[in-house]
Amino acid sequence: MTSPPSDSRPRLLDGVMLLALAAVAGAVARILAFTPYEVHQGAAQKIYYIHVPAAMSAYLALGVVAAMSIVYLWLHDERSDRLAESAAEVSFVFTTVVLVTGPLWARPIWNTWWSWDARLNLTLFLWFVTAAYLVLRGAIEQDAMRARYSAVLGVLAALLVPFIHLSVYLFRTMHPMPIVLKPSEPSLPREMLTTFLIASLAFLFFGVALIRARYRLTPLFRSSAGGGNA
Amino acid sequence: MPDTYSYFAAAYVVAGVVYGAYLASLWWRAKRG
């Protein structure tokens, strides 16, 4: 595979990515300057506005992985495999943020960095499965075999998402239940709810922009790595 | 109100570092190719 001419090469910081970064910057500005502190938790409660949207973006990306994996297993279209790979990498990044920001929120509130309960363990397990997906892709040289094996693993990884979301209802856990994504009305004051919705939309858009960028840049990666062999 | 500012600041800085590192990795891998 040859690199496209330099003037037509896809760029990381194109209009979509710049717009997504501006949306994230705007959301963070609102969180920092225009959203009140929660009385019982203080500033640590504001971790909520990046922790939960990161989880939502990871779930969205895993949904793309599952959908594109099924499409690949059905149609054997290389583009769906490439999109699944891109979404898996982005999901890994967002899950990493979830696993880092969670303990930083838990320490002052729960008085511990980590609790070995269902929600946290399943999220950590998802992180390992996504890492395994990416390692698997790097370990198989033959394109069709790599795409087929990783598609199966991608679908299995996405199956963890409903279990993670429902784990707070199914098991005894220290992790709080959803206060917005639940059947009844959100339990947040209007000002905080508005900030949460803005942050969620901004990070979901950022996730889409990252998947798009990764997908568009992939041919450039492969041209230097010697991949893309049939 | 409890003083939990350091945890809040650490979470935002670390999240920024993770996102920034991923963007840098995309840029570097594309440039290397």
Nearest CA in chain B to A89: B22
ipTM score of complex: 0.97
- Check if the beta carbon of residue A91 is closer than 8 Å to that of residue A61: yes
Question: How does pLDDT run across A3-31, given as a tens digit for each residue?
Answer: 555 567 899 999 999 999 999 999 999 99
For residue A179, is pLDDT > 90?
no
Tokens standing for residue B23: 């963007």
Does the beta carbon of A58 lie under 8 angstroms from any beta carbon of chain B?
A: no
Contact B1 A221 (CB under 8 A): no
Position A222 scores a pLDDT of: 66
Q: How far apart are CA A108 and CA A151, in angstroms?
A: 40
Question: How does pLDDT run across A81-136, given as a tens digit for each residue?
Answer: 999 999 999 999 999 999 999 999 999 999 999 999 999 999 999 999 999 999 99
- Lowest-confidence region among A16-20, A36-40, A83-87, A181-185: A181-185
How far B20 CA lies from chain A's nearest CA (Å)? 10
Amino acid letter for position A69: S
Position A227 scores a pLDDT of: 45
Integer CA distances (angstroms), A210 to A206, B12, B25, in order? 6, 19, 12
Question: How does pLDDT run across B1-31, given as a tens digit for each residue?
Answer: 899 999 999 999 999 999 999 999 999 999 9
Position A186 scores a pLDDT of: 75
For residue A226, is pLDDT > 80?
no
